[in-house]
């Protein structure tokens, strides 16, 4: 699962369900804004600069926690 650095609601949601951060793609949103989609805003949720992608994974062998 991938989200952006400003999406604290998604980060909270997934981490409470057993997902953990596995990768930071620093500057990925900046690159997408330049090369693919210039309409991506500079500032995202909660006034946070929108720059990076965060990848989360869940260990399917362990039971998920309920929120």
Look up the pTM and report it.
0.80
| Tens-digit pLDDT profile for residues 13-64 | 999 999 999 999 999 999 999 999 999 999 999 999 999 999 999 987 766 5
**Inter-residue contact 67 to 16 (CB < 8 Å):** yes
Burial 30-61 (b: 16+ CB within 10 A, else e): eeebeeeeeeeeeebeeeeebbbbbebeeeee
> How many residues are recorded in the chain?
67
């Amino acid at each position: 699962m991938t989200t952006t650095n400003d999406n604290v609601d998604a980060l909270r949601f997934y981490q409470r369900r057993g997902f953990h951060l596995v990768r930071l793609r620093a500057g990925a949103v900046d690159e997408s804004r330049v090369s693919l989609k210039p309409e991506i805003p500079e500032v995202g949720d909660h006034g946070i600069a929108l720059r990076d992608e965060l990848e989360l994974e869940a260990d399917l062998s362990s039971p998920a926690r309920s929120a």
